[in-house]
Chain A
Amino acid sequence: MGVLCGLMGLGCGLLVSSAHKLQVDDGQAWREMAEAQRQRRLHVAPKRGTVHDRNGVSLAVSIEVPSISADAFEMLRAYDARTFPDALRRISGQVAKALNMSPDEVSAKIRQKRRFTWLKRRVSAEEVEAIRALGDPKKTANPIRGLQIEGEGRRYYPNRDLAGPLLGFVAPDGEGKDGLELQLEEELRGHAEEVKGLRDRSGRLLFAEGVSNEKALAGHSVYLSLDQGIQYIAEQELASAIRTYEATGGSVVVVEPATGELLAMASSPHFNPNDYSQSPPEARRNRAIHDRFEPGSTMKVFTVAAALAARTLTPTQQIYCEKGSMAIDNVIIHDTHVSEWLTPTQLLAVSSNIGAAKIGIELGESKLYEAFRRFGFGESTGLPLPGEAGGVLRSRGRPWVQVETAAASFGQGVSSTTLQLAMAISAIANGGKLMEPILVKRIVDGQGNLVREYTPRVRREAVPPHVARTVSEMLVAVTEGEGTGIEAAFHGFKVAGKTATAQKADPATGRYTQDRFTSSFIGFVPADRPRVAVVVVLDEPMLTHAGGAVAAPVFRRVAEFALRYMGVKPEGSGDVSLADVGRAASAAASGSAPAASAPAPWRTVAPPVSPELPVIPVNDGPSARLPDFVGMPARDALRTAAALGVAPSVLGSGVVARQEPVAGATVPRGTVVRLFLEPPG
């Protein structure tokens, strides 16, 4: 008996000593290994935040897509060496059939008997059903164990390629890779690190106390200043101009001058972030901020503004324009429109290079350079998007020589981005105050608490208010009479703007080419109380290249849509009471045009261009009731839609034959309404 007691005591001693070795000597190593095991199994990130436009329309959302994984150890542990090959073949076959994979592939994945293996990620609803049936003891006599269905986040862009280059995309591992998705990765991603160690052996997420609320882990939601409707029209018009004039690309930026908020930022060619891998990398570039170009004549606006502010030029001063040709040092400057004496207003209207050069030289190199800097050229605007180009003013890193000052005065030898031009022209529109561009308005966390809000901020005063007002008036002349930008004008509003047709430098020779141009238009409307500033840039249009012919029409369509969409009343219409709008609406609905009396003020001021132009009540509310578009010509349908605050998407030509959503539906502002057109009759 003593022997047995001794043996037992020996056993106890052995146990205690090995426990000491295991826990005290090697404890740290084991603990680290356990830690690593818990973290390695973390493979599902929290829900990524949503990106909204200014009206709350979703531009990028994360949805849970099921993925199938297997606990192969659990799956195969009931089989011994004899039955294993058969079981492996049977299970591989069944699973492969359910998931549309090859049995060999499945077999290779489960043969190792690992505790966790992805079988197929992002599967369809039918595949989920098939897998569920395989593991259900009620449906099969021989259910397969260890099959797991888990939700994995997948990024989805409901508007497909809308604002694609701006939004960027998300890689399959859930990481933002470009554009806004990359820039705001930190905010959108959520707090993956907080769920560490809370997964069990089959990878299921088990929340411990304190993190039971999944929303607390979710990423922040982002509200942009963009308006889906305006963005849509800007993209459509840009794309159609590129098609029409066979340009290689282009960009459009729409800004609200008073706040600096970006209403639209279109870049073409563009891509669909839902399947970004199908697109070439250059289609993913956001040309509005990445591409620098020589702006050309649009810079004359800022040269004139700088000279007026420095009092080296007066608004009525006559400038001799050398009959179309002037030599500075060894370079000869030409004008397309040969002139002798021009006022600054006329000079801008006919876009005289010689006149601008003289103003610039009179102002002086350093003052011109500083003025351009004050308008934000030569430095990035600080927009929260990756890879914004700053543009270059002094490309050789030293002050300009005289001929360079002359060239800079009319926008050659300096470079800018579309966004910089948009912010600079907005400064003219905004009484000389340069605003910081706002793309992100609000960031809200998963539980709806405000994280950050971006309010309008003045960067600096580029020119005094009276100078800005004078320049605005001058720019109206561009879109009137003999001006180069006459194509930008539209009925009911005074448009201030400037065209540019800049020769491009050949990167191989460093000289200007004769056949490649950057055609652009910058401007704002209404000229006296600006609501939108729009910049249109088209790269290398082939059929015709004058900025006034190529870019100005895009400006007109985008600006006109934006104004109607925002509910801006035509000039001189005065204040319209709601009762008047209602009466006009009912009159329009009843088919009888209102008499030229008080209740229809916008008809009394300026007679309509076409007599059949329908009277459209302007809509400021958060939602709109859709009228029956059927039978309307495209132009009328677009106007009606814009006035209601919805974005029309037109397919085909002729008159409207069908619409989605149907007439009578109440939709939020910014909703895309599809109009299917067919030839009448």
Chain B
Amino acid sequence: MSLFGRIFPKNTGPREQVGGVDPVLAAVTIALIGFGVVMVYSASAVEATVNHKDPQYFLKRQAIFAVLSLVVMWLASRFDYRRLQKGAVTYLIYGGVTGLLLACVAGLGKRVGGATRWIDLGPIRVQPAEMAKLALVLWLAYSLAKKGDKIKSFSVGFVPHLMAAGLMMVLLLKQPDLGSSVVLLLITFSLLFSAGAKLGYLLGAALVAGGGVVVLVMSKAYRLARLMAFIDMDHHRQDVAYQPFQSVMSFGSGGWTGLGLGRGLQVLYLPEAHTDFIAAIVGEELGFLGICGLVSAYLLLVSRGIRIALRATDDYGSYIAFGISTLFGIQVLVNLSVAMAIVPTKGLTLPFLSYGGSSLVVNAAAVGLLLSISRPRSAMAVVTPARRESRDEPGFDASFLEGGEVRS
């Protein structure tokens, strides 16, 4: 049997009626990806011209990633997520990603700007940290669904999950990538909390983790310098706090309506404008109204994800949906906070907007999973079609994602 056949089997499982996906979620996601391509062009044209002699260098690449991610999303939405609910598959994914993280740290990684966040896989270069987030969500969902009520116990329900997350976090810290490991920790806590783990354990662990973060910050000179510079930004605007300061300056320049798409001038000064700091360019070019629109879109995305989690027919799907929604929520909150210098620089991408193939494809796959979970499933012969909520995206036709087919 071919690999394709293994993943998309035709006649397995019980007879079941499968409905269409959540059209709102699909629409928001596609809109964000499209918007991301536009913003990446606006934010990267200068750097692309200077470093690659081609103003469209990043635009072309991001457009290819966007098409690829849409394909991945479509495939993932067609795929029955419950096929992942197997120990072997889950541990294979978790183990594979952990292996990549290990390889990255062990010297196979590509060193850029003092951190090894990249690894070459044949012709493509990937960022394992992005995969780790989704892999951990899948592992936690599997484990929590399997353990059911035993989740309340310390040794069975609590420690193993923290250890699984901890292993990835340690490897991420080795890169070093404090931001991503904090995200992993927050996802773990959120999932454990929603699964019903004892609040006392969580608070205790949170205290320990908080202490750990403090120690980590104090232990690395650059982290401490970054923190001090952040606290005393006015004195470090030319050196360590240059990036957050420029970011705030970009953000602030926008005013109510912004300078207009493609008219931003801060791209000349803001390093990494098209990756981690793309929100600052959105703020500059589209202003406060643009930021409100962006936050609303993410709020809609996360709330649709939570809705899917609540409506899911099984615990496993519910946990996955909740984990993925939390993942998006945390990343968006942290990224925007960094862009406005509410918290120190973290190095986290803004989902769907930041330039980068790994982030885009993994996030699209995550949405694909959400869409797959959103499909109404019943044993009945008559399908209840997914409710169209066309008021959110009136012009958008998401019908191609609504398979509505009968699998038997």
Contact mask for chain B residues 196-224; partner A; CB cutoff 8 A; 1 contact, 0 none: 00000000000000000000000001100
Stretch at the interface among B20-28, B124-132, B285-293: B285-293
Q: Which residue of A lies closest to B240 (CB)?
A: A113
If the complex has contacts A18-B342, A30-B248, A34-B250, are A23 and B326 also in contact, measured as CB distance less than 8 A? no
Stretch at the interface among B35-43, B174-182, B333-341, B387-395: B333-341
| Complex partner residue of B302 from A8, A27, A114, CB under 8 angstroms | A8
If the complex has contacts A4-B326, A18-B340, are A113 and B222 also in contact, measured as CB distance less than 8 A? no
Q: Which residues of A contact B96 (CB under 8 A)?
A: none
CA distance A197 to B268 in the complex (A): 9
Tell me if B291 and A12 are in contact (CB < 8 A).
Answer: no
Quick check: is B269 within 8 A (CB to CB) of the other chain? yes
Tell me if A23 and B254 are in contact (CB < 8 A).
Answer: yes
Contact mask for chain B residues 231-250; partner A; CB cutoff 8 A; 1 contact, 0 none: 00000001100100000111
How many A-B pairs fall under 8 Å by CB? Answer: 120
Tell me if B268 and A200 are in contact (CB < 8 A).
Answer: yes
Q: Which residues of A contact B114 (CB under 8 A)?
A: 78
List B residues 296-343 near A (Cβ within 8 Å). 298-299, 302, 306, 309, 322, 326, 329, 333, 336-337, 340, 342
Tell me if A73 and B253 are in contact (CB < 8 A).
Answer: no
B292, chain A: closest CB distance, angstroms: 6
Tell me if A206 and B249 are in contact (CB < 8 A).
Answer: no
CA distance A26 to B342 in the complex (A): 15
A142, chain B: closest CB distance, angstroms: 15
| Complex partner residue of A15 from B221, B249, B295, CB under 8 angstroms | B295
List A residues 52-105 near B (Cβ within 8 Å). 73, 78, 80-82
| Complex partner residue of A30 from B252, B291, B322, CB under 8 angstroms | B252
If the complex has contacts A19-B288, A34-B265, are A115 and B50 also in contact, measured as CB distance less than 8 A? no
Q: Which residues of B contact A34 (CB under 8 A)?
A: 249-250, 252-253, 265-266, 269
If the complex has contacts A22-B252, A37-B269, are A12 and B295 also in contact, measured as CB distance less than 8 A? yes
Quick check: is A292 within 8 A (CB to CB) of the other chain? no
Quick check: is B71 within 8 A (CB to CB) of the other chain? no
CA distance A492 to B137 in the complex (A): 108
Contact mask for chain A residues 13-30; partner B; CB cutoff 8 A; 1 contact, 0 none: 011101110111011111
If the complex has contacts A22-B248, A30-B252, A115-B238, are A201 and B333 also in contact, measured as CB distance less than 8 A? no
Q: Which residues of A contact B333 (CB under 8 A)?
A: 8, 11-12, 15
CA distance A11 to B271 in the complex (A): 26
Quick check: is A337 within 8 A (CB to CB) of the other chain? no
Q: Which residues of B contact A113 (CB under 8 A)?
A: 238-239
Tell me if B253 and A30 are in contact (CB < 8 A).
Answer: yes
Q: Which residue of B lies closest to A114 (CB)?
A: B238
Q: Which residues of A contact B252 (CB under 8 A)?
A: 22-23, 26-27, 29-31, 33-34
Tell me if B222 and A80 are in contact (CB < 8 A).
Answer: yes
Q: Which residue of B lies closest to A33 (CB)?
A: B249
Q: Which residue of A lies closest to B224 (CB)?
A: A81
Q: Which residue of B lies closest to A204 (CB)?
A: B50
Quick check: is A595 within 8 A (CB to CB) of the other chain? no
Interface core residue of A1, A28, A73, A82 (most chain B CB under 10 Å): A1
CA distance A200 to B329 in the complex (A): 34
Q: Which residues of A contact B309 (CB under 8 A)?
A: 1
A169, chain B: closest CB distance, angstroms: 35
Quick check: is B251 within 8 A (CB to CB) of the other chain? yes
Tell me if A8 and B329 are in contact (CB < 8 A).
Answer: yes
Tell me if B255 and A28 are in contact (CB < 8 A).
Answer: yes
CA distance A11 to B256 in the complex (A): 21
List A residues 586-644 near B (Cβ within 8 Å). none
Tell me if B291 and A206 are in contact (CB < 8 A).
Answer: no
CA distance A441 to B285 in the complex (A): 49
CA distance A321 to B248 in the complex (A): 92
CA distance A29 to B254 in the complex (A): 11
B286, chain A: closest CB distance, angstroms: 10
Contact mask for chain B residues 365-388; partner A; CB cutoff 8 A; 1 contact, 0 none: 000000000000000000000000
Tell me if A201 and B271 are in contact (CB < 8 A).
Answer: yes
CA distance A9 to B302 in the complex (A): 10
CA distance A82 to B224 in the complex (A): 14
Size of interface on A: residues with Cβ below 8 Å to B? 42
B305, chain A: closest CB distance, angstroms: 11
Q: Which residue of B lies closest to A31 (CB)?
A: B253
Tell me if A19 and B291 are in contact (CB < 8 A).
Answer: yes
Tell me if A30 and B271 are in contact (CB < 8 A).
Answer: no
A478, chain B: closest CB distance, angstroms: 71
Tell me if B225 and A81 are in contact (CB < 8 A).
Answer: yes
B28, chain A: closest CB distance, angstroms: 15
CA distance A199 to B46 in the complex (A): 10
Q: Which residue of B lies closest to A11 (CB)?
A: B333
Quick check: is B194 within 8 A (CB to CB) of the other chain? yes
If the complex has contacts A4-B193, A19-B288, A73-B239, are A197 and B265 also in contact, measured as CB distance less than 8 A? yes
If the complex has contacts A113-B238, A115-B238, are A24 and B336 also in contact, measured as CB distance less than 8 A? no
Quick check: is B190 within 8 A (CB to CB) of the other chain? yes
Tell me if A81 and B221 are in contact (CB < 8 A).
Answer: yes
Q: Which residue of A lies closest to B191 (CB)?
A: A4
CA distance A133 to B333 in the complex (A): 45
Q: Which residues of B contact A201 (CB under 8 A)?
A: 268-269, 271
Q: Which residues of A contact B193 (CB under 8 A)?
A: 3-4
Contact mask for chain B residues 48-78; partner A; CB cutoff 8 A; 1 contact, 0 none: 0110000000000000000000000000000
Tell me if A206 and B256 are in contact (CB < 8 A).
Answer: no
Tell me if A16 and B295 are in contact (CB < 8 A).
Answer: yes
Quick check: is A121 within 8 A (CB to CB) of the other chain? no
CA distance A80 to B250 in the complex (A): 28
List A residues 201-229 near B (Cβ within 8 Å). 201, 204, 206
Quick check: is A5 within 8 A (CB to CB) of the other chain? yes
B167, chain A: closest CB distance, angstroms: 24
Tell me if A23 and B256 are in contact (CB < 8 A).
Answer: yes
If the complex has contacts A12-B333, A34-B253, are A200 and B269 also in contact, measured as CB distance less than 8 A? yes
Tell me if A24 and B340 are in contact (CB < 8 A).
Answer: no
Tell me if B306 and A5 are in contact (CB < 8 A).
Answer: yes
A476, chain B: closest CB distance, angstroms: 72
Q: Which residues of B contact A114 (CB under 8 A)?
A: 238-239
CA distance A28 to B253 in the complex (A): 7
CA distance A112 to B322 in the complex (A): 48
Tell me if B342 and A27 are in contact (CB < 8 A).
Answer: no
Tell me if A38 and B268 are in contact (CB < 8 A).
Answer: yes
Nearest 10 pairs of A and B residues by beta carbon = A30-B252, A27-B255, A200-B268, A23-B288, A31-B253, A11-B333, A81-B221, A113-B239, A201-B269, A1-B194
Q: List 30 A-B contacts (CB under 8 A).
A: A1-B322, A4-B326, A9-B299, A12-B333, A15-B340, A18-B340, A19-B251, A19-B292, A19-B295, A19-B336, A20-B288, A22-B251, A22-B283, A24-B288, A27-B254, A27-B288, A30-B251, A31-B252, A31-B253, A34-B253, A37-B269, A80-B222, A112-B238, A113-B238, A115-B238, A199-B268, A200-B268, A200-B269, A201-B271, A204-B50
Residue positions of B touching A, CB distance < 8 A: 46, 49-50, 114, 190, 193-194, 221-222, 225, 238-239, 242, 248-256, 265-266, 268-269, 271, 283, 287-288, 291-292, 295, 298-299, 302, 306, 309, 322, 326, 329, 333, 336-337, 340, 342
